[in-house]
C-alpha cells in the first residue's frame, strides 16, 4: 500500500521533480549500500585479531601501562 502511494506521489510531480526524486533514490541506494559494506568489513576485521594487539606484550618496561604512561608524560612535560 505504501509503495502505491509513493508511486502516485511521484507521478503527480512535474517531470523535472520526478527526475530529482529518482536521483535522490539513486543517492540513497549508493549511500546505504556503502554503509552495509562498511559494517560487513568491520565485522570481518576485528581489532583483537590483528597483529597490532599484543605487539608489545614481551616488553618488560611496559608491564604496568598506567605507570609507564604516567612516567612518560611527566618526563615530557618537565622538559620546559
Dihedral sign for Cα atoms in the order 67, 72, 74, 75: positive
pLDDT confidence band for 21 (50 / 70 / 90)? very high
Per-residue pLDDT for 19 more than 90? yes
Tell if the pTM clears 0.95, that is, is over it.
no
Instruction: Measure Cα distances from 73 to 57, 63, 64, 65, 69 in Å.
Output: 21, 17, 14, 12, 6
**DSSP three-state, residue 55:** coil
Q: Select the more confidently predicted residue: 40 or 31.
A: 31
pLDDT of residue 35: 64
Amino acid at each position: 500500500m505504501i509503495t502505491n502511494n509513493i508511486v502516485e506521489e511521484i507521478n503527480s510531480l512535474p517531470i523535472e521533480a520526478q527526475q530529482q526524486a529518482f536521483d535522490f533514490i539513486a543517492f540513497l541506494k549508493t549511500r546505504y549500500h556503502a554503509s552495509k559494506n562498511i559494517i560487513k568489513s568491520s565485522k570481518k576485521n576485528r581489532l583483537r585479531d590483528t597483529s597490532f594487539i599484543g605487539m608489545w606484550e614481551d616488553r618488560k618496561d611496559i608491564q604496568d601501562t598506567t605507570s609507564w604512561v604516567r612516567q612518560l608524560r611527566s618526563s615530557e612535560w618537565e622538559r620546559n
